[in-house]
């Protein structure tokens, strides 16, 4: 049972000295691993585990094996590393290696604690979530989504405290403190499970109307589009989607083509990234949620929403652009000021705490945020949704929406 207020717990987290946090992160993996630190088994051979394996090999570190629950993978080699069952891995290496949980899927039914307990029950001596490995080899792995070194958050403590003042309900304050605690401790048990509802349509925060104009920045394979069509029952004015990944874009096209003609004709898709200004940008295309904007071996076209939406009146804009959210917002300053839409923004990949996000908000919109009513929702995966209201109206109201980190 929590015996203190969220504000007091936040103060306790932020009271840590930066140097202490830096040292703690540097030694956390080695302290937990003891004499086993040079022997690694990766638990999870999915996309995330494979990316960890590749980076370790670039560091001249060869994991002993992948352990994975998927029987179809047993006996295969992935990027030079054999995949075996968790039971076999525990038998071979349980007492002689660190088992690093290399699974991170907010949509999974199990949690990080469940994965650790599975390996412990098989007799594995040392089991650690991947974050501790990332802290040790931070130059190779960090920043990654919302994860970074804890001292970086502590150097922004004044902004963290300022952000705490934005949340008007206790649920959002509790979630915000849990997020700060997770980022400074890597304790996945702090992160609550997703609440009910679709990610972008939290019940009670706002209502979707038949006149909705939805702009989807980072449309992926059309998953949000499908949720939107279901949520509206096909009654909306327009849906405009931007997706730069050349691997994912054909899947988005196919999904649109599968819709009824009356719905399909109101959906427009563009194979572009969204950013601060038009041009091109480096892009790492994977066809998965691990694609990244701003770095990589591919080059994709990029547009700014102020240009793309010059004649459009959006009522709802979603940003999930793999760490490029702030740039995309900067490129939408005029349209945000002009139309005041609902916003749903992913900060999971921005690696910035909410207060810093507001600090770097487009200048022409900053007064709108600080002086007008903004309805926001903070989620376990660091999503928020906001709706601009008339200046001088009610104070900020905040609630969290659905998304999980574990």
Residue 373 has pLDDT above 90, yes or no: no
Half-sphere exposure of 323 (CA within 13 A, CB side): 17
Q: Please, what sign has the CA dihedral across residues 158, 385, 238, 314?
A: negative
Residue 265 has pLDDT above 60, yes or no: yes
Write down all domains in the chain, each with its CATH number in brackets. Answer: 38-124 (3.40.50.720)
Residue 1 has pLDDT above 50, yes or no: no
Q: CA 186 to CA 199: how far, in whole Å?
A: 24
pLDDT digit string (tens) for 101-146? 999 876 677 889 999 999 999 999 999 999 999 999 999 999 887 7
> Is the pTM higher than 0.85?
no
Question: How much of the chain, in percent, has pLDDT values that exceed 70?
Answer: 81
pLDDT digit string (tens) for 42-97? 999 998 999 999 999 999 999 999 999 999 999 999 999 999 999 999 999 999 99
Supply the pLDDT for residue 4.
Answer: 86
Q: CA 192 to CA 189: how far, in whole Å?
A: 7
Look at 63-77, 190-204, 375-389 and tell me which has the smallest mean pLDDT. 375-389
Supply the pLDDT for residue 128.
Answer: 97
The pair of three-digit structure tokens given for residue 14, joined into one six-digit string: 């932020």
Q: CA 156 to CA 159: how far, in whole Å?
A: 5
Q: What is the mean pLDDT of the chain?
A: 83
Supply the pLDDT for residue 267.
Answer: 97
Supply the pLDDT for residue 197.
Answer: 63
Are the C-beta atoms of 176 and 378 separated by less than 8 Å? yes
């Amino acid at each position: 049972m929590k015996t203190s207020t969220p504000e007091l717990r936040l103060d306790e987290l932020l009271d840590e000295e930066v140097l202490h946090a830096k040292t703690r992160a540097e030694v956390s993996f080695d302290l937990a691993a003891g004499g086993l630190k040079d022997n690694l088994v990766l638990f999870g051979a999915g996309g995330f585990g494979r990316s960890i394996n590749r980076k370790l090999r670039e560091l001249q570190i060869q994991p002993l094996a992948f352990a994975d629950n998927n029987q179809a993978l047993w006996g295969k080699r992935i990027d030079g590393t054999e995949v075996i069952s968790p039971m076999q891995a525990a038998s071979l290496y349980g007492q002689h290696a660190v088992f690093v949980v290399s699974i991170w899927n907010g949509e999974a039914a199990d949690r990080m604690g469940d994965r650790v307990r599975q390996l412990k029950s098989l007799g594995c001596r040392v089991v650690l979530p991947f974050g501790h490995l990332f802290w040790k080899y931070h130059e190779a792995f960090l920043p990654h989504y919302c994860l970074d070194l804890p001292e970086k958050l502590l150097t922004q403590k004044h902004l963290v405290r300022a952000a705490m003042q934005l949340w008007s309900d206790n649920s959002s304050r509790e979630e915000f403190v849990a997020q700060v605690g997770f980022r400074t401790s890597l304790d996945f048990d702090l992160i609550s499970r997703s609440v009910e509802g679709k990610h972008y349509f939290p019940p009670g925060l706002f209502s979707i109307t038949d006149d909705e104009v939805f702009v989807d920045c980072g449309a992926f394979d059309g998953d949000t589009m499908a949720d939107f069509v279901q949520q509206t029952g096909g009654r909306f004015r327009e849906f405009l989607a931007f997706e730069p990944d050349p691997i994912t874009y054909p899947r988005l096209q196919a999904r649109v083509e599968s819709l009824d003609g009356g719905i399909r004709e109101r959906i427009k898709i563009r194979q572009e990234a969204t950013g601060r200004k038009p041009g091109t940008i480096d892009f790492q295309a994977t066809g998965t949620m691990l694609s990244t904007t701003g770095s990589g071996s591919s080059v994709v076209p990029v547009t700014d929403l102020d240009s793309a939406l010059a004649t459009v009146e959006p009522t709802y804009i979603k940003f999930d652009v793999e760490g490029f959210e702030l740039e995309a917002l900067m490129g939408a300053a005029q349209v945000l000021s002009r139309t005041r839409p609902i916003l749903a923004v992913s900060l999971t990949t921005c690696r910035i705490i909410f207060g810093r996000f507001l600090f770097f908000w487009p200048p022409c919109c900053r007064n709108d945020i600080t002086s007008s009513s903004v309805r926001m929702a903070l989620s376990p995966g660091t999503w928020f949704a906001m709706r601009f209201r008339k200046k001088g109206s009610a104070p900020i109201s905040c609630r969290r929406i659905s998304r999980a980190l574990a």
